[in-house]
Structure 1
Amino acid sequence: MTKFLKTLSATLAAGVMLASTAQADTRVTYKSAKSGSSYYQMGVELAEAMKAGTDGDIIVTIEESQGSTQNVMEVRARGGDYVFTTPPVLVSLAQKGKGPFEGKSAPQFDEIRALFPIPSLTMHFVMAGEGSAATLDDLAGQTLLLGKGSFGATEGEKYLNLFGLADKVEIADAELSNAVAALKNGQIGAFVTAGSFPAPNVVEAAASTPVRLVSLTPEQVAETKRTKLVIPAGTYAGQTEDVTTTSLPVAAFTTTKMDADTAYALTRTYWEQKAAMGDTSAWWNGVTAELMANITTPLHPGALRYYEEAGFALSEAHKQ
């Protein structure tokens, strides 16, 4: 073989090796929430789990987000590597051109497909004091910290109006970040927060002072038109019984632009790594197969293949 042919052969072989390396991993962008939030931290944990569970074949890059609506809107300009989190109800509104998507309809919204549920936004009404679970009526006469601009603040205000408590509580003019200190030193009697459970600020509050969580009746849950969720006894220090509250389900989505093998691998690895993620952060333990019922849009065909293989109970809506 001439020197030229040897050089050409070596060059081609190196090119093949480089191509194989380039194709060995799959790059995915995961857009969830603001940095510093629990959902952003979940994204970091999920990225680590994907890398570990696929031996580096799937690399997830986390992008900061300004909110769930933005996440949905971005499918108009994103490709097949885009994964985002949002409440399933927002996907439904986008596809119908309603709510925050009124006048902003796009054909790409119809291409959105679900992958898997993640921890739900869970409402917590936290009161100072010892004893069993509190009721909404126990909030009467309390100075209550709602916070500002968050889902928990908006939802909490809705519940005060819905159950006739708006004129029976004093709303504290303070940020939610001050809630634990304010509760501990008696400046407030209660605060409202929403996040995956166990919520870090509730853990902190329960560890530093006796607290009681408000438990809703089945009738009250129905009036909120939210999804029922039970926080198991022992989730927080001093919590001796289950607490019934409401939640806003959240899930991870992509679009039909993603190839089936990638969607399958993402979904399978998520469920296979969920227990390990739960060892790191307890909020993953709140994700069960039952949360699949909260996903009301079709599953990505690759994800559907995994769920059928694994024997998950699915609805007809999942298979469309």
Structure 2
Amino acid sequence: MINTKAILAAAAVFATTFAGASVAETRITYKSAKAGTSYYQMGVQIAEAMKAGSNGEVIVTIEEGQGSVQNVMEVRARGADYVFTTPPVLVRLAQGGKAMFKDKSDPAFDDIRALFPIPSLTMHFVMSADSGVTDFAGLEGKSILLGKGSFGAREGAKYLKIFGLEGKVEIADAELSNAVAALKNGQIDGFVTAGSWPAPNVVEAAASTGVSVLSLNDEQVAMTKRTRLVIPAGTYAGQDEDIVTTSLPVVTYTTTKMDDDTAYQLTKTYWESKGEMASAAAWWGGVDTDLMSNITGKIHPGAIRYYEEAGVALDDAQK
């Protein structure tokens, strides 16, 4: 004879247990960059760190991004689980309805809130040792590979123009993926790349060919209107001095739809896991709380709770 009461009681226990498990698990969608890039790999590392650091309570799914602008645009249709990366300047433009966001304003942009900084897009002007080039004036008459369509290519072309080198440098017609091989073969004198540091292609070039990564002086940094960044001596083979260059800060964001506890947990786990992530990938070594000054907009209240507990100073505009 079937014991109906026993079955119902067991079902109730199962339902309660299942509900408790589902409540304990938080699922996040992390929109990063194109697959195969360093920023996509950073997203994978963050997902692994969140799972480990939260004892499986936070599960992060990585989505391939099609660009920082698109990451911001998707805020309009996403929910409380949406986390994405983008430079702070794009958030500011979106909230002001300017530039690429002109005529595309949306109230959802005003709800964007920062969580934590990640490695910045860092400019590298890499010249072969054989070229003898050690400063920007020496680029005249040299062959440089800028690549095509990337932030680094656009930024590199801009710097050549503002430093008075437009038309005085031969621009190689090749993809950036061929830069190291072309440098080794003497087909080019140098290349320009932007990404987290240490940059893998610069590491390879420095170890195999010998390179000089150019530094900018304070006047040149000011002319670029970018953020000054110092790559410490010893980062690349043969680099005996600090490299002064520029960067475009990148930050991880969510919106006010995310509850405070989840934002707190994400932020706390990120910072507590950063040391372990750095042991696996050197680009995390350049991230510390000094980068918090790159966040020019508001920070999520849940993240603010963590920063206050950790004694990280925030300015009024971030609160």
- Give the TM-score normalised by structure 2: 0.98
Matches within 5 A, 1:10-159: 10-129=10-129, 134-159=134-159
- 1:232 and 1:133 mapped to 2: Cα distance? 20
- Deviation at 1:130? 6.6
- 2:179 and 2:170 mapped to 1: Cα distance? 15
Q: Which letter does structure 1 place at the counterpart of 2:45?
A: E
Long gaps (5+) in structure 2 = none
The question of 1:292 aligning with 2:292 is answered yes
Deviates more, 1:16-25 or 1:298-307: 16-25
Q: Answer yes or no: is the 8 Å Cα contact 1:117–1:287 preserved in 2.
A: yes
**Equivalent position of 1:198 in the other structure:** 198
1:92 match: secondary structure: helix
Q: Answer yes or no: is the 8 Å Cα contact 1:130–1:212 preserved in 2.
A: no
2:234 match: secondary structure: coil
- Deviation at 1:131? 11
- Call closer, same or farther: CA 1:142–1:19 in 2, change over 3 Å: same
- Give the TM-score normalised by structure 1: 0.98
- 2:44 and 2:318 mapped to 1: Cα distance? 27
**Equivalent position of 1:241 in the other structure:** 241
Q: Answer yes or no: is the 8 Å Cα contact 2:131–2:189 preserved in 1.
A: no
Root-mean-square deviation (CA), in Å? 1.3
Q: Identity rate of aligned residues, in percent?
A: 68
Q: Give CA deviations for 1:50-79 in whole Å, capped at 9, x if unaligned.
A: 111111110100000110000000000000
- Deviation at 1:168? 1.6
Runs (4+) of structure 1 exceeding 6 A deviation are: 130-133
Q: Give CA deviations for 1:80-107 in whole Å, capped at 9, x if unaligned.
A: 0000000000000000000110000000
Matches within 5 A, 1:222-237: 222-237=222-237
Q: Answer yes or no: is the 8 Å Cα contact 1:133–1:213 preserved in 2.
A: no
Q: Which letter does structure 1 place at the counterpart of 2:177?
A: S
- 1:279 and 1:88 mapped to 2: Cα distance? 27
Q: Answer yes or no: is the 8 Å Cα contact 1:132–1:241 preserved in 2.
A: no
Long gaps (5+) in structure 1 = none
- Deviation at 1:6? 1.6
- 1:202 and 1:236 mapped to 2: Cα distance? 8
- Deviation at 1:134? 2.1
Q: Which letter does structure 1 place at the counterpart of 2:85?
A: T
Deviates more, 1:105-114 or 1:7-16: 7-16
- 1:168 and 1:292 mapped to 2: Cα distance? 39
The question of 1:311 aligning with 2:304 is answered no
Q: Answer yes or no: is the 8 Å Cα contact 1:27–1:81 preserved in 2.
A: yes
Q: Answer yes or no: is the 8 Å Cα contact 1:145–1:192 preserved in 2.
A: yes
How many residues align? The count is: 318
1:127 match: secondary structure: strand
- Call closer, same or farther: CA 1:133–1:276 in 2, change over 3 Å: farther
Q: Give CA deviations for 1:197-246 in whole Å, capped at 9, x if unaligned.
A: 00111111111101000000011000100000001001111111100000
